[in-house]
């Protein structure tokens, strides 16, 4: 039986909703407006997503900072309380366990937000399977609280203006990639952060399951007149794709390192130690074999995950994600290919339904709109 979020009963009977199986969850791929309209409302106004399927793990106690810093590639010890960082957990061979967000309360309490499809795997890795799990599991409280937490994502350039009307807390004081807990929005206490997975400004609202439906309905009913729409997974995927934000299982996985996925900004090799560091250093010294590039279709064709990519008749890689960009009105793709074999402007070929279709290497991200940084 498919799992459902606390919001399922709120929106399941909405007119025009399309529900799908997403990694074992019954979730909306789109609502009545459709994927393109939902995509554009986030780019131009604001849209509301149910992302309660995401996983949340608490790590607490003396030694938390050391363990979390060892678990991930980014620099946890440089964080200040109230800060959020994007990072990756790697296996000793450099492959990716998951990409995640780390929220720092203090040196003895961290809140990790992980991908829905990886929650159980990530929790086992942290608590039981990582090389340091036995050491830290004995001294830390490591708890998977995913089934107690709902999450809404309110994204778009007008998200702050709208949400401010429901709270006395000064939302402009929340810097990009920071959070505040126990903020009251429409009478409900929430944890609110400002990260985004859409390439736009906006907020993530974490709250109790029983409050999720109230908050969802309040936001939509209050700002429906302003054009705010409920948005599904379809728009969430095209939004992140345009902004070249990776999706686990496509741009990164156990067989793709962060360096190959062009995520070296989030890999602090200068750190004293983290899981996978030695393997990543060796890969860098030897020469990272693959790179993630972008292309746009020249010929008619829809590139899809797994399509093979060729240059001068030689196979050089494959498509990780392909779709039509609503902002560009073009079919584009992210491709994982051999490093050093193409440059911007080069023509390549993608095998689509057994036929070779021409595409051109272009700069990424396909769309960029710097989130508010105050």
- Give the fold, CATH level 3, of 289-362: Elongation Factor Tu (Ef-tu); domain 3 (2.40.30)
The domain segmentation of the chain, as residue ranges, is 8-53+148-242, 289-362
Give me the mean pLDDT over the 82-93 stretch: 98
Given the DSSP bridges, would you call strands 47-50 and 229-231 parallel, antiparallel or unpaired? parallel
Digit-coded pLDDT (tens) for 13-45: 999 999 999 989 999 999 999 999 999 999 999
- Burial of 122: CB neighbours in 10 Å, binned 0-12, 13-18, 19+: buried
Whether the per-residue pLDDT at 118 is higher than 70: the answer is yes
Digit-coded pLDDT (tens) for 322-356: 999 999 999 999 999 999 999 999 999 999 999 99
- Report which secondary-structure segment, H or E, holds 95: none
Q: What are the tokens at 87?
A: 């990072």
Q: Do 8-53+148-242 and 289-362 agree at the fold level?
A: no
Q: What are the tokens at 263?
A: 């995520």
Residue 329: predicted pLDDT: 96
- Give the fold, CATH level 3, of 8-53+148-242: Gyrase A; domain 2 (3.30.1360)
Give me the mean pLDDT over the 123-135 stretch: 98
359 alpha carbon, distance to own chain's centre:
27
- Burial of 173: CB neighbours in 10 Å, binned 0-12, 13-18, 19+: exposed
Q: What share of the chain is helix, strand, coil (3-state, %, to 5)?
A: 25, 35, 40
C-alpha span between 197 and 240 (Å, rounded): 6
Digit-coded pLDDT (tens) for 292-305: 999 999 999 999 99
Whether the per-residue pLDDT at 107 is higher than 90: the answer is yes
Q: Largest alpha-carbon pair distance within the chain?
A: 62
Give me the mean pLDDT over the 173-178 stretch: 98
Residue 284: predicted pLDDT: 98
Whether the per-residue pLDDT at 370 is higher than 70: the answer is no
**Distance set, CA 275 to CA 19, 70, 107 (Å):** 38, 6, 20
Q: Round the average pLDDT of the chain to a whole number and report it.
A: 97
Residue 369: predicted pLDDT: 83
Digit-coded pLDDT (tens) for 256-268: 999 999 999 999 9
Instruction: Identify the band that residue 240 occupies on the pLDDT scale cut at 50, 70 and 90.
Output: very high
C-alpha span between 170 and 165 (Å, rounded): 10
Whether the per-residue pLDDT at 373 is higher than 70: the answer is no
> What is the DSSP code string of 225-266?
GGT-EEE-HHHHHHHHHHTT---BTTTBBTTB-TTTTT-GGG
**Strand runs labelled E in the chain:** 18-22, 25-30, 47-50, 55-60, 84-90, 96-106, 109-114, 141-144, 149-155, 179-185, 188-193, 202-208, 229-231, 290-297, 308-311, 314-325, 330-338, 347-352, 355-362
Whether the per-residue pLDDT at 374 is higher than 70: the answer is no
């Amino acid at each position: 039986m498919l799992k459902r979020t606390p919001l399922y009963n709120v929106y399941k009977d909405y007119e025009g909703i399309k529900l799908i199986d997403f990694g074992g969850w019954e979730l909306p791929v789109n609502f009545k407006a459709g994927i393109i309209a939902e995509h554009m409302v986030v780019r131009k106004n604001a849209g509301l997503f149910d992302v309660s399927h995401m996983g949340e793990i608490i790590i607490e106690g003396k030694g938390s900072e050391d363990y979390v810093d060892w678990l991930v590639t980014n620099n946890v010890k440089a964080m200040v309380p109230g800060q959020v960082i994007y990072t990756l957990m790697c296996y000793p061979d450099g492959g990716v366990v998951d990409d995640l967000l780390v929220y720092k309360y203090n040196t003895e309490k961290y809140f990790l937000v992980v991908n829905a499809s990886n929650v159980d795997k990530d929790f086992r890795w942290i608590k039981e399977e990582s090389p340091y799990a036995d050491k830290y599991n004995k001294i830390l409280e490591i708890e998977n609280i995913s089934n107690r937490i709902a999450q809404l994502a309110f994204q778009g350039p007008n998200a702050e203006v709208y949400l401010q009307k429901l709270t006395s807390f000064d939302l402009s004081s929340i810097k990009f990639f920071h959070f505040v807990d126990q903020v009251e929005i429409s009478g409900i206490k929430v944890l609110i952060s400002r990260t985004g997975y859409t390439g736009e400004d906006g907020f993530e609202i974490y709250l109790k399951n029983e409050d999720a439906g109230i908050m969802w309905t309040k936001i939509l009913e209050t700002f429906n007149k302003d054009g705010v729409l409920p948005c599904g997974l379809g728009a969430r995927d095209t939004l992140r794709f345009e902004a070249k934000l990776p999706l686990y299982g496509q741009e990164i996985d156990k067989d793709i390192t962060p360096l190959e996925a062009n995520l070296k900004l989030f890999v602090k090799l200068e750190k004293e130690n983290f899981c996978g560091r030695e393997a990543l250093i060796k890969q860098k010294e030897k020469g990272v074999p693959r790179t993630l590039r972008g292309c746009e279709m020249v010929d008619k064709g829809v590139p899809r995950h797994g399509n093979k990519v060729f240059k001068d008749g030689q196979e050089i890689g494959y498509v990780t994600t392909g779709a039509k960009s609503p902002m560009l009105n073009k079919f584009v793709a992210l491709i994982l290919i051999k490093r050093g074999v193409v440059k911007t402007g080069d023509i390549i070929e993608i095998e689509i339904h057994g036929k070779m279709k021409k595409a051109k290497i272009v700069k990424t991200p396909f769309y960029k709109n710097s989130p508010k940084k105050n």
